[in-house]
Amino acid sequence: MQQSQFPILQSSVYGHPLIYLDNAATTQKPQSVIDALTSYYTSLNSNIHRGTHYLATAATERFEEVRRKVQSFIGAADRAEVVFTRGTTESINLVASSFSERFVGEGDNVIVSAMEHHSDMVPWQMACESKGASVRYIPFSDEGVLDLGAFERLIDSHTRIVAVNHVSNTLGTVNPVGGIVRIAHGHGVPVLVDGAQAVAHIPVDVQALDCDFYCFSGHKMYAPMGVGVMYGKRRWLDEMPPYQGGGEMIKEVTLEKTTYNELPFKFEAGTPSVGDVLGLGAAIDFMLAEGVANIGRHEMELHDYAVELMRTVPGMRFIGTAAEKAAVVSFLVGEAHPYDVGTLLDKLGVAVRTGHHCTQPIMDRYGIPGTVRASFAVYNTLDEVEAFVNALKRIAPMLM
Ligand code: PMP
């Protein structure tokens, strides 16, 4: 893989070559993805599914081809189980709203982990509030490991669904989702996995995991913003009511009553972001050419090297030190505010994220205002890791 495949990585920031370590927020896009977008808008743009003319038919075929590509990428049994959304947040809101409408009632509970992104916590709080149900939280250790014993004690005959992330965007923990699914299924409870931070780093097979829902965003896996996926097992999707009403999700509308389209269209109301979906197809091609497992291995090599070098920075404190981790390093330097660390690094050309990373309950758990987060992708290099840590060492005395 050449960094030159990613045009933005050739940029300079404040006179320094850009070192982009904010990949958990969004990855940069390879030229092939940018080309897929340009070529869609220069030669294929048309609204899909409803047209009979050449462009409409061609665009529809390409759109449905990407659905098959996603199906195979995540190992889904049926392409009708792949629903296109705007991203993870919309995917989870869809499930929280529609699943709860059908399956959650007064006095029931939903279990989520205490390390969820707000996008996998707030929709459940909202759904439970409207249904008179409650949310229960799986606690985690100081290292950032979920307490599965506590999870088993939380689950009971009123638990309707469990929602947990595959990889924590703040702690980097890779959660044992297969084990969580086995425990939940032992109680007849389905599991939603938030895969936003996993799909670009770990080969995912939804049938092997046996999860009931798997949600992710294109833009964190080299695809454009504006497209994501909600995978759901047909047995649930068949029973869940539509999330939004409008075009494409209907079979027939009369003034009195509407009947709904078959899967997956029942959950795809309105014109989708066709160009972005085609960009997602190009991003999957890019990842398959690299090999997802190879990408993950490369990133962990960078992660381990970064952690080793960072230990020599005065005042370094890591937040999230689980044995099973993805390539996310959250840290603090002495008593310095994460925002100050991020701002100084930025002036040296290093892009990291600072703040609560949409996981305020994690910050409360550790009693900190936020962290600085460096996260790695396929195009990062060992030289960049060294430059990042050298920049940290340079700014550390200013922060003490
Ligand atoms: N879940 C996790 C674990 C995430 O990291 C993110 C993005 N930071 C989301 C959900 C939300 O993703 P999006 O903003 O693309 O909908």
Q: How far is CA 51 from CA 55, 56, 61, 263, 344, in A?
A: 8, 5, 12, 20, 53
**For ligand 1, which residues put their CB under 6 angstroms from it?**
87-89, 117, 119-120, 165, 169, 194, 196-197, 217, 358
Q: How far is CA 192 from CA 54, 148, 214, 320, in A?
A: 39, 16, 6, 23
Q: What's the rounded mean pLDDT across residues 183-206?
A: 98
Which two tokens mark 18?
């850009």
pLDDT-derived band at 50, boundaries 50, 70, 90 = confident
The predicted structure's pLDDT at residue 9: 97
From the alpha carbon of 168, which atom of ligand 1 is closest? 3
100 Cα: distance to centroid of ligand 1 (angstroms): 21
Q: Considering the chain, tell me which residue range(s) the CATH 3.90.1150.10 domain(s) occupy.
A: 3-21+292-393
pLDDT-derived band at 90, boundaries 50, 70, 90 = very high
CA distance 118 to 359: 6
Catalytic residue positions?
A: 358
Biggest distance spanned by C-alpha atoms of the chain: 71
Burial of 150 (0-12, 13-18, 19+ CB in 10 A): middle
The predicted structure's pLDDT at residue 61: 96
pLDDT digits (tens, 9 = 90+) for 252-303: 898 899 888 899 999 999 999 999 999 999 999 999 999 999 999 999 999 9
The predicted structure's pLDDT at residue 356: 96
pLDDT digits (tens, 9 = 90+) for 117-134: 999 999 999 999 999 999
64 Cα: distance to centroid of ligand 1 (angstroms): 25
360 Cα: distance to centroid of ligand 1 (angstroms): 14
pLDDT-derived band at 247, boundaries 50, 70, 90 = confident
- DSSP letter string, 25-86: T-----HHHHHHHHHHHHHT----SS--SHHHHHHHHHHHHHHHHHHHHHT-S-GGGEEEES
pLDDT digits (tens, 9 = 90+) for 318-365: 999 999 999 999 999 999 999 999 999 999 999 999 999 999 999 999
The predicted structure's pLDDT at residue 392: 97
pTM over 0.95? The answer is yes
89, 204, 221, 230: residue to mutate for ligand 1 pocket, most atoms within 8 A of CB:
89
CATH tag for 33-288 (out of 3.40.50.300, 3.60.140.10, 3.40.640.10, 3.40.50.1820): 3.40.640.10
CATH 2.60.200.20 fits 3-21+292-393, yes or no: no
The predicted structure's pLDDT at residue 51: 78
